Chain A
């Protein structure tokens, strides 16, 4: 279990993160979500013991990250930001080097490295020099080195950044397959990633945690309203006032009046009530033409924007 309490990191007088606290239980996959510069990488570096916090402390598996640094590092797999690798080394040689540093015993090293290369799908490039590999493969090598030594905890800083969509899906699948027996923290600023791979999301903005929940709960909690978007042929004001009379409707906005008396309306309602039927009826009963109607629930994307942008 990872326990961060009141982490603050200041560079000069500027705080990169402030009072960041969270607990991560064994077996969880937690997504650290935030815009660039929110303090994700700083937090990760503190978690791995690369830099100390100005105040606060981190415990991983009951051990303090700074007092028992070596012991913690043994249990930790870390992929730093931008996937730094020794570009001049061959994949297998590199992984064996990492295995030696991770104190994997000499007789088990070859086997262990082969197994991890298979898991990460890089056994076909084992003899290649890392700098000749594509971005996707480099990323896999980065994840592979984090997996060396079977760490209980994996910390991945933006594991899918810069990859093409196919590679992103592959890396996601890989992370999901690892989730079975590991506690994983991954940071990202890509939203679908979180809803697809993580059991919990921590949203961080300007160095502070602004929300923390499962992806589903976040959606539910923050999107108390559902929106229905309508395009109707008819007089705007009149339609708007008629629709307001329907029970369950919270408010009606006229989005824009298009040419030739078309009106776009946004109708907000409670989330758990579906008012589309009533809306359609109301429009038709008044002899207006209903051209389009769709329901929108606030997605993670909007929640994220809502939480991380200042009004």
Chain B
């Protein structure tokens, strides 16, 4: 398997199983984030 194997997301997007934790967006990524990602294409927020 290689990294070029492409993931197919399920119709309706992914299901989050936990709130967002520390992550990097852009290169300003050193402050802990407490806000979950907002709903975006292909991604659904936690149920």
Partners in one complex: no
**A residues lining the B interface (CB < 8 Å):** none
